Structure 1
Amino acid sequence: MRRPLRAAGLLTLALLTVLPSAALGQARSLFAGADPDIEVADGRYWIYPTGGEGLSPWSSTDMAQWTRGDPLIRLKDIPWVRNDRAPIHFLWAPDMVQAKGGWFFYYSVGPQNPTPSRIGVAVCKGPAGPCTDSGRPLVNDGGKGFEAIDPQVFVDPKTQTPYLYAGGSAGAKLRAWTLKPDMVTIDREVPVETPPNFTEGAFMHYRSGVYYLSYSAGQWNHANYQVHYAVALSPTGPWRYGGALLQADKKFKGPGHHSFFQDPKDGAWYIVYHRWENVPGNGPYDGQRRVAIQKISYRADGAILPIKMN
């Protein structure tokens, strides 16, 4: 029998026996896109999906009707990409963060070959931009079993320390760093264990004394793509595995690469993710993924209830 974790003097995770899935409210299919990050600001919800040559936000006042904004940043705006002799680049999996009195936009520049993937950061005027690249890659040591993709920055509410999580796919390795107060410079790398079934797309959120590390498992263009999670009492572990949260069903395939947020309007927690809709078989799939949003729930002991999409 596993010993329980304790936080704030209370038994919070007895842990974490995954219960049968329970429907937690209808998922809303929003727009074509993938790898969504979400922020709430200025009375609007802002979603930042993967782009190609540019990264644009989508915004809404009600989580139902969404409008696409102008690009926050484009490949041609990034000097260290312009000067690279690699034949092709794409912008992937961004993460917008409001911290230290400003807005900071983190993104992947890939693919891994012929040059290693890298992570960049831009400083923005607000959630709708405009954004200006910092002038240099933030993480520039991809390769050798690590792919520098899928950045997520989490500011620890206890210490106000900003942590950068990144990695996946090629090697499926998770790494973490602390950032300096300017939010555009690495302070130091911190040891972190790669959790079970990790592929990519790490996301950290904090609730009631517990740190929740969630991430994608499986292959991005197959039905086995899904969301798993682990928990800890610090932002760098040690992790206690919680199991799968979000998996394919008969109608929706390959849900993953997600973010969580707490709605300031009602205090409820939501997950935003992408999925393949109305595709047969188990993959590989081609074509457009769609972004979806759905309310989630927690058990009394802190475990997240598995999510049923339909």
Structure 2
Amino acid sequence: MTSIRYSNPVHDAYFADPFVLRVGEGYVAYGTGRVVDGRAFEVLTSLDLVTWRSVGGALELLPKEAGSDYWAPEVAEADGRWWMYYSVGHGDAGHHLRVAVADHPTGPFIDQGVNLTPDERFAIDASPFRDEDGTWYLFHARDVLEGDRVGTMLAVDVLDGMTRLRGQSRTILRPSGDWQVFLRERKMYGQVYDWHTLEGPFVRKYEGRYYCFYSGGNWLEPTYGVAYAVADHPLGPWVEPDGVPPLLRTVPDKVIGPGHNCVVSGPDGLDVIVYHAWDPGRTARRMCIDPLMWGQDGPRVLGPSFTPTQIPRASQHSAA
């Protein structure tokens, strides 16, 4: 296969928190944004990760009392059906994780009437992961008020069936640096904190180890970016590599606050990182892609790119 040429963003309209699922010979993308055809989460389809078309909305809306803000959908295929994990709530308050199911990857998805995180203060960014032994895990972000760096942190629990968590959620990654500060002296839960944020977890297994890509900082600010941690088991312990800078960072006046990524196999079988970024005028978070390369020192991203570039062929990747 020849190299695929592209220019970011690959979709011009607002499309935050992009998640891309490979289905057969093509791709389906789901994102946070507008309600389409009376359904939450716009759905896009593509044959090459570069040219996308909208095919409507994904999720049938819940009653208004459940919330008006639908965030960060991710979809997994199991038992011949497609399961969407997402959060819903009112702004920054009361978000919880839910699950919906569809008979087709483009929907419509029907909520299954289950609050997966009834005991959490705030839970967002659910990301399902199936290990090679068949065990499903649900990575997510949740608020934690204990520790030196308070804020939103990464957690995981086991899925006992696609609509039920085991109830043993554990924090797997806590804030470790000032670049992860969301807002200093933020009023939260009746107190004032220097609030940190880790969010948008996505796990990829590579050569026997597990890599959790995540976003840190304030999604409204240029400090927002993507980093990763490594573990030998999905439940951890998870460790950030020492001295490794974020994989994706702002390029001033070009790409602002790249983050909330997923990883998908490209048409030639190589990994591609999908993420959103603000345009320089900060009018919209739009979907972008770049090659994700693996080396002895771990993953690296050829980006964020903002000029015409290409996804290399497998032979080019091997020589890198």
Are 1:189 and 2:168 counterparts?
Answer: yes
CA distance in 2, matches of 1:224, 1:207: 28
Regions of 4+ moved over 3 Å: 25-28, 81-84, 195-198
Could you report, residue by residue, the CA deviation over 1:61-97 in whole angstroms, capped at 9, with x for unpaired residues? Answer: 122221111211132xx2xx4454xxx6211100011
**Structure 2 residue aligned with 1:108, among 75, 83, 87?**
87
Deviation at 1:234, TM superposition (A): 0.6
Could you report, residue by residue, the CA deviation over 1:202-231 in whole angstroms, capped at 9, with x for unpaired residues? Answer: 111111101000100110011011001011
Structure-1-length-normalised TM-score: 0.79
**Structure possessing the higher relative contact order (Cα contacts under 8 Å, 6 or more residues apart):** 1
- Give the gaps of 5 or more residues in structure 1: 1-24, 280-284
- Give the gaps of 5 or more residues in structure 2: 145-150, 181-196, 306-320
The equivalent residue for 2:257 is 254
Deviation at 1:99, TM superposition (A): 2.2
CA distance in 1, matches of 2:82, 2:124: 20
The equivalent residue for 1:20 is none
Deviation at 1:52, TM superposition (A): 4.5
Whether the 8 Å contact between 1:105 and 1:121 is mirrored in structure 2 is yes
The equivalent residue for 2:46 is 60
CA distance in 2, matches of 1:119, 1:224: 27
Within a 5 Å distance, the mapping from 1:1-310 to structure 2 comes to: 28-31=8-11, 32=13, 33-53=15-35, 54-75=40-61, 78=62, 81-84=63-66, 89-111=68-90, 116-143=94-121, 147-157=122-132, 159-168=133-142, 171-181=151-161, 183-195=162-174, 196=176, 197=180, 199-242=198-241, 243=244, 244-250=246-252, 251-263=254-266, 265-279=267-281, 285=282, 287-299=283-295, 301-310=296-305
The equivalent residue for 2:314 is none
Count of aligned pairs: 265
CA distance in 1, matches of 2:120, 2:29: 27
**CA spacing shift, 1:306–1:67, aligned 2, 3 Å:** closer
Q: CA RMSD in A?
A: 2.1
Percent identity among equivalent residues?
A: 31
CA distance in 2, matches of 1:216, 1:169: 15
The equivalent residue for 1:18 is none
**CA spacing shift, 1:169–1:26, aligned 2, 3 Å:** farther
Which has the larger strand fraction? 2
CA distance in 1, matches of 2:143, 2:224: 12
